[in-house]
Each structure stands twice: as C-alpha cells, then as structure tokens.
C-alpha cells in the first residue's frame, strides 16, 4: 500500500503540475488533481483507521500539502483547508452522529469547506448570523464573504451564533450539505493569486438536524483549528518557497556552466536563501512536534498559542523573502510570462500568505497574550 506522501508526490508530478498554469489562467477549480486526491482516499487521510480512514499523522498530511504546493498552490490549499476541518471533527466530534459523519468522510470521500467569513464582518470577526432551532431541526441563513471551493464541496462547515439571542462570541459550527443546502453566488473570486481555490461569496441557506451542530467553537478553534491551520497552511507556503528556490537553483546552475572555475554572484544569493528556507522547514517540523498527536485534546497555554501564531507569521514572511529573492536571481527569465523560469504564478500565490488571516491581527493578538506570559 502506498504512503500518503508517495501518493501526493505522484499527483503533484503527474496531474497537478501539468494543469497548474491552466488552473491559474482560467481561475478554475483544479478538478483533475482533486479528483485524484479523492480517488486515492486522501480526503480521509486524517480519519482514524477504526472509522475507515487512513489513520495518517499530521506529519503525513503536512508533507502531502507541501509536495502538492510544489506544483499547484491552489490544489495544496484545497487539501490543507479540507484537512483542517477533518482534524477538528476527529478531535471534537464526540456524539454518535458526529463519529458516523467522520466515518462517512472516508467512506464516501467527502470534500469539506469552511464558511466562516461573513459579509459586513471584519476578517476573523465573529459571525453575526444565527442558528434558529425548532425542536430537533435547525435553519440558518448566512452571507459568506468567501467560501473556498464552495461550489465543489460536499459539505460546508458554517460558523454562526448559537441562537438569535446569543452574544457574539457564543459560536457554533454547523455541518451543512445538499439537498438541504442552497448556495446563491453574491460575489466573484477574481484575484491575482490562489485563483484555483474559487473562493466566491455566497448566500447560504441550510437546514437539517441539530445533530449537525458542533458546539463550543471557541474550544475547537483554540485546541485544533488554529494550530492545525497554521501548520498546514505553513506547509503549503513551504512548498511554494521550495518551488521558487528550485527555479532559482536551475538558473544558477546554468550560469555556473557558463563560468567554469568561477562561482557566480547569483550562487551567493542562493546560499543566503537556503538559510531562510531551512528555517521554514524547521518551523513546520517543530510546530508539528509541539502540537502533539491528534488524539491529545487540551486547551493551549498562552505560550503555546503565541508559539503557534508565530509559525503563521514567520512562514508567511519568510515565503515572501524567498520568492522575491528567487525572482531576483532568475532575472529577466523569471520576469517573463513565456519563460519556463517564470515566477509570476509563484509570486502571486505567495502574496496571499500574509492576507490569509491578516498578519496585523495576529501580531495584536500575540501582543495581548504576551502581557500574561513571563519568561517566554
């Protein structure tokens, strides 16, 4: 049986890579690669074996996201964002209904998407829409500012207030899926990077059983969603950085062959980038180690929360440094759109990193947390 890593490497090389430019150019969903991911069972990678999944580790899925990002950042982000939702359900879905649904993810190869953002609410703010219940049934309406690959997902995980009377911070996550889920597009996804994630804005109408409601979103976010998101997004950014570095390395190798006996100046610049690239690799590995096994659920300390948020900050900042440095090394061949060394898509995808959960908001959160931490 193939490992999760080897499956991802094959999909990256044979499917995601050849389609990547078209996905970017046409802003279309990377259906070829995601279909291959689905057929290989990777959507259930983090589902425990006793529930029908592959029982993969966070290290396994981190590597899968990383190698997919070598070829297509949009494909990598689809797997990353789906896996964040799966990890949250595996760790916090304690009811019989939730456990059955986790099993369905693996058995039916379901793709999950998040609908946390909301029109009129700043990035990272609490959802203002609310769940309305009638006995054991619920209904909700939401205008989501972005729903990554929402049209292609089998289930949306929708953030909302617990009741219309709830205070803003009393949030729940609701699993919504057809036929009791309707999406009406209210905004396009016309961006210069990560175009294949197809994160359109939608008006969401959903109903169903109250069994589909995952309570205490604050605990899910703190214990699982945020740390796993930082690790897997950081893994995608690492893959983008490695792709940029490889292109620069090929350019330097060509230059060196023309300057026998001399070390080109570009090689020195490349050596500087290695330092930052290695720091990115170390950051992912250490954060996985610090997070611990998926079965260990406990609230993070202030120090641990800062540590995990620092992963997001450092990875997103280092990525920009590497791709701009690599583009400088590549020179005009990297600047051209018709060159095999073109850095266009890589740079545009990389610039999403500080925007996906705004770095300024995370810095402010860390500043507040550090006020209560001694001897960090």
| pLDDT digit string, tens, across residues 318-347 | 999 999 999 999 999 999 999 999 999 999
Alpha-carbon dihedral of residues 273, 245, 360, 189, nearest 10 degrees?
Answer: 170
CATH code, domain with 240: 1.20.140.10
Q: What pLDDT does residue 87 have?
A: 96
Res. 279: pLDDT tops 90: yes
**Average pLDDT of the residues in 44-71:** 97
User: Tens of pLDDT along 222-237?
Assistant: 899 999 999 999 999 9
Residues 188 and 316 in one domain: no
In a domain, 358, yes or no: yes
Q: What pLDDT does residue 261 have?
A: 79
Residues 226 and 307 in one domain: yes
Looking only at the bridges linking them, the beta strands covering 112-115 and 155-161 are parallel
- The confidence band for 262, taking pLDDT boundaries of 50, 70 and 90, is confident
Residues 274 and 205 in one domain: no
Which strands sit side by side in the sheet containing 181-187, from one edge to the other?
A: 132-134, 137-144, 201-209, 181-187
Residues 171 and 200 in one domain: yes
Residues 51 and 143 in one domain: no
In a domain, 338, yes or no: yes
**Average pLDDT of the residues in 253-280:** 92
Out of 215, 236, 256, a domain closes at 215
**Average pLDDT of the residues in 120-126:** 71
% of the chain with per-residue pLDDT over 90: 79
In a domain, 240, yes or no: yes
Q: Are 332 and 255 in contact (CB under 8 A)?
A: no
Res. 240: pLDDT tops 60: yes
Out of 110, 127, 151, a domain closes at 110
In a domain, 284, yes or no: yes
**Average pLDDT of the residues in 168-194:** 95
CATH code, domain with 176: 2.40.110.10
In a domain, 375, yes or no: no
Structural domain total, the chain: 3
Q: Say whether 228 sits in a helix, a strand or coil.
A: helix
Q: What pLDDT does residue 293 have?
A: 64
Out of 169, 198, 215, a domain closes at 215
The range of the structural domain enclosing residue 160 comes to 113-215
Q: What pLDDT does residue 304 have?
A: 83
Res. 122: pLDDT tops 70: no
Residues 258 and 357 in one domain: yes
Residues 207 and 125 in one domain: yes
What's the angle, vertex CA 332, arms to CA 328 and CA 333, rounded to 5?
100
Match 């175009």 to its residue by tokens. Answer: 195
Residues 104 and 129 in one domain: no
**Average pLDDT of the residues in 249-267:** 90
Residues 180 and 307 in one domain: no
Q: What radius of gyration do the chain's Cα atoms show? A: 21
Of 254, 248, 274, 269, nearest to 330 by C-alpha is 248
Q: What is the mean pLDDT of the chain?
A: 93
User: Tens of pLDDT along 156-169?
Assistant: 999 999 999 999 88
Res. 123: pLDDT tops 60: no
């Amino acid at each position: 049986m193939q490992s999760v890593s080897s499956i991802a490497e094959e999909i990256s090389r044979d499917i995601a890579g050849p389609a990547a430019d078209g996905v970017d150019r046409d802003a279309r969903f990377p259906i070829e690669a995601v279909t291959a991911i689905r057929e290989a069972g990777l959507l259930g990678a983090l589902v425990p074996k006793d529930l029908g999944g592959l029982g993969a580790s966070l290290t396994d899925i981190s590597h899968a996201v990383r190698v997919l990002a070598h070829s297509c950042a949009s494909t990598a982000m689809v797997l990353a964002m789906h896996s964040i939702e799966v990890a949250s359900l595996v760790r916090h879905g304690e009811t019989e209904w939730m456990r059955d649904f986790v099993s369905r993810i693996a058995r039916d190869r379901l793709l999950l998407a998040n609908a946390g953002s909301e029109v009129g609410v700043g990035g990272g703010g609490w959802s203002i829409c609310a769940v309305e219940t009638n006995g054991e049934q619920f209904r909700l309406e939401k205008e989501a500012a972005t729903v990554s690959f929402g049209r292609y997902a089998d289930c949306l995980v929708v953030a909302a207030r617990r009741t219309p009377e709830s205070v803003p911070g009393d949030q729940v996550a609701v699993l919504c899926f057809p036929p009791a889920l309707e999406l009406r597009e209210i905004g396009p996804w016309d961006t210069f990077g990560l175009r294949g994630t197809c994160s359109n804005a939608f008006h969401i109408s959903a109903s169903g059983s109250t069994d589909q409601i995952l309570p205490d979103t604050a605990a899910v976010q703190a214990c699982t969603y945020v740390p796993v998101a930082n690790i897997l997004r950081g893994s995608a950014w690492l893959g983008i950085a490695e792709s940029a570095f490889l292109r620069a390395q090929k350019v330097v190798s060509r230059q060196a062959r023309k300057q026998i006996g001399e070390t080109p100046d570009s090689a020195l610049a490349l050596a500087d980038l290695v330092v930052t690239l290695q720091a990115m690799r170390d950051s992912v590995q250490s954060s996985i180690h610090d997070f611990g096994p998926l079965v260990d659920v406990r609230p993070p300390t202030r120090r641990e929360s800062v540590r995990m948020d620092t992963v997001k900050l450092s990875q997103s900042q280092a990525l920009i440094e590497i791709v701009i440095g690599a583009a400088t090394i590549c020179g005009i061949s990297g600047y051209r759109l018709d060159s095999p060394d073109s850095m266009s898509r890589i740079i545009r995808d990389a610039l999403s990193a500080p925007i996906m959960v705004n770095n300024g908001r995370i810095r402010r959160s860390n500043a507040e947390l550090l006020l209560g931490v001694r001897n960090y």
